[in-house]
Amino acid sequence: GEWLMKDKRIKKIILWTIVIAYTLWIFHNSAQTGKVSANLSQTLSYRIYDHLQFLHFMPFQLFHTLIRKFAHFSEYALLGILVSTISSHTIQERQQKLVIILWMILVPMIDEGIQYFTPGRSAELRDCIIDMCGYGFGFLITYLIKQRKTK
pLDDT in tens, 42-92: 888 888 888 888 878 888 889 888 988 999 999 999 999 999 999 998 999
Global pTM reads: 0.86
- What DSSP designation does 57 have? G
pLDDT value of position 133: 97
Region label for 120, one of left (φ > 0), alpha (ψ between -120 and 50) or beta (otherwise): left
Distance, in Å, from the CA atom of 65 to the CA atom of 62, rounded to the nearest integer, reads 5
pLDDT value of position 78: 97
pLDDT value of position 1: 65
The secondary structure of the chain in percent helix, strand, coil, rounded to multiples of 5, reads 90, 0, 10
Distance, in Å, from the CA atom of 116 to the CA atom of 127, rounded to the nearest integer, reads 12
Cβ-based neighbours of 49, under 8 Å, separated by 6 or more? 55, 56, 60, 63, 64
In the chain, % of residues over pLDDT 70: 98
